[in-house]
Amino acid sequence: MTSLTQPFLSVDALHKAFVLHGQGGMTLEVMRDLSLTLSPGECLVLAGPSGIGKSTLLKMLHGSYRVTGGTLRLHFEDGDLSLDTLPAHAWHTLRRDVIGYVSQFLRVVPRVPAVEVVIEPLLARGVDEAEARVRAEAMLARLNLPERLWSLPPGTFSGGEQQRVNIARGFIAEHPLLLLDEPTASLDAANREVVVQLIQEAKARGAALLGIFHDEDVRDRVADRLLPLSPHMGAALASTPANAEEIRS
């Protein structure tokens, strides 16, 4: 991948409907005609009531949900990359090198110690193991995770401890596009402050961030723009689209 041009992400006329096979094939339309752009160094915060489709948008951008209609494009100096038509095998490389995702919940792999969970994205990029370990330990220390926990699998950690491992893993690889789904939800004030700093540093190095933050203080401090989703969920949603797609996950 080469250096970035402006904007880095464009979403045009995005449409999402779920087909609920367990409910007789009922269609649930959650998004219609959503468009946005996101530039390097910018943090756009998704707003709107519960269930409006904020997490669904992030999951489409991370390839876990299919797009029903519209386009998602990344713009590189040497050309555009369409995410809505990206073949499954290409997502692996894209998630490793370009699109990071930090959710509220850590997907724990049994027996893998916390520090290894954090190191893994760096090793996948070919970073030397000793260097990766130093960076991972520095990140865990910065997020105030007690050193005695670093060598333990996070399955039994508290919600806030697991979330900090997740944040360390999400930020360490310095992806150009970061998707943040309530990364501060279980954190105390001191650790929320660390996350605000990590976001500001990511912006300063030119990352583009798209996030969901229910904490208004955090939102106000990191957001360059707010995007309320409700205007995209209007009367149009009363009808059922002809091109509804199946649930992938």
Ligand X SMILES: Nc1ncnc2c1ncn2[C@@H]1O[C@H](COP(=O)(O)OP(=O)(O)OP(=O)(O)O)[C@@H](O)[C@H]1O
Residues that bind ligand X (CB under 6 A): 18, 20, 28, 30, 50-56, 247
Instruction: Supply the minimum distance, in Å, between the C-beta of residue 47 and ligand X.
Output: 9
Q: Is 74 exposed, middle or buried (0-12, 13-18, 19+ CB in 10 A)?
A: buried
Nearer to ligand X, 207 or 244 (CB): 244
Nearer to ligand X, 140 or 179 (CB): 179
Instruction: Supply the minimum distance, in Å, between the C-beta of residue 214 and ligand X.
Output: 7
Q: How far apart are CA 66 and CA 222, in angstroms?
A: 29
Nearer to ligand X, 51 or 155 (CB): 51
Q: How far apart are CA 86 and CA 81, in angstroms?
A: 8
The CA-based diameter of the chain, rounded to the nearest angstrom, is: 56
Nearer to ligand X, 88 or 130 (CB): 88
Instruction: Supply the minimum distance, in Å, between the C-beta of residue 244 and ligand X.
Output: 11
Q: How far apart are CA 61 and CA 79, in angstroms?
A: 18
Nearer to ligand X, 103 or 191 (CB): 103
Instruction: Supply the minimum distance, in Å, between the C-beta of residue 32 and ligand X.
Output: 13
Q: Is 208 exposed, middle or buried (0-12, 13-18, 19+ CB in 10 A)?
A: buried
- The one-letter code for the residue type at 120 is E
- The one-letter code for the residue type at 206 is G
Nearer to ligand X, 52 or 145 (CB): 52
Torsion-angle region of residue 24: left (phi > 0), alpha (psi -120 to 50) or beta?
Answer: left
Crossing angle between the packed helical segments 114-124 and 129-142, to the nearest 10 degrees:
130
Instruction: Supply the minimum distance, in Å, between the C-beta of residue 54 and ligand X.
Output: 4
Instruction: Supply the minimum distance, in Å, between the C-beta of residue 185 and ligand X.
Output: 10
